[in-house]
Amino acid sequence: MTDPMKPKTYRDIVFPNAAMTRLVDDLVTNRLVFPANGKNGLLIYGPNGTGKSTLAGLLPDAIETTRIGRPAYAPTRHTVTTGNNGPVLIASLARVAGNIALSFGHQFFILDEVDNLGEAAMKSLKSVMEIPMTIFIMTTNNLSAIERGVRSRSHLIDMTVPPATAWLQRCRDALAAHGVQKALSDDILLPLIASCNGDAREIMTEMRKLALALA
């Protein structure tokens, strides 16, 4: 069954503050020109469950639609693990990046848990990021583990835990999607949201449980 509350665009993501919402919107819409000034990376950081990987998956189509009027061409996605974190992975990225046809727009690379790259591979990533017409979207729980040159080539997107109040509208939308017609007060929703410590999966689960209790 399709999840009615699964984010469909980056604007469905709950960001930690207005400044970060504005930064992502400016990057996607190209008000803040991107890629530019040696930055072709987006480094999304924060704890588990805050929507980093979901955001990473939504950004290529959003970015490319603004620039060339169509979705991104075949984004490449890798989850970096201890068994897939070295020279072979970097060589694969370089090979794909070197073959991109300009008529396709940018080649997008999504690297989940990029902090798991080995030391040599992390340093080599900087060279791959120099290849024209590439955009790297990376997620990490550990920003301090990311090599300085990779960070310098990236805009940093903070996905730390938002205040519970930032989730109120999203939660009300979820309840409505689950058939709850009654408008519940902040006093009911805020403690439930806060108990989830920013984990979007847990928050949406709590809303589903609440809808079942009210049915």
Which residue spans within the chain are E strands per DSSP? Answer: 41-45, 76-79, 107-112, 134-140, 154-158
Helix/strand number for the chain, H first, E second: 8, 5
Are residues 203 and 120 part of one domain? Answer: no
Residue 91 lies in a domain: yes
CA distance 128 to 95: 9
Residue range(s) defining the domain that contains residue 70 = 10-158
143: pLDDT confidence band, cut at 50, 70 and 90?
very high
Which 3 state secondary structure label does DSSP give 79? strand
Q: Are residues 168 and 97 in the same domain?
A: no
Which band of pLDDT confidence, cut at 50, 70 and 90, is reported for residue 100?
Answer: confident
Say whether both 125 and 205 belong to one domain.
no
pLDDT > 70? residue 103? no
pTM of the model: 0.94
One domain, residues 147 and 59: yes
Q: What is the mean pLDDT of residues 79-90?
A: 91
Determine, yes or no, domain membership for 4. Answer: no
Contact assessment for residue 130 and residue 40, using Cβ atoms and an 8 Å cutoff: no
Main-chain phi, psi angles of 81, to 5 degrees: -130, 175
1 inside domain: no
The answer to whether residue 101 scores a pLDDT higher than 90 is no
Based on the domain organization, do 147 and 177 belong to the same domain? no
Q: What is the CATH number of the domain that holds 91?
A: 3.40.50.300
Answer yes or no: is 178 within a domain: yes
Domain termination site, one of 158, 173, 200: 158
Residues 200 and 109 placed together within one structural domain of the fold: no
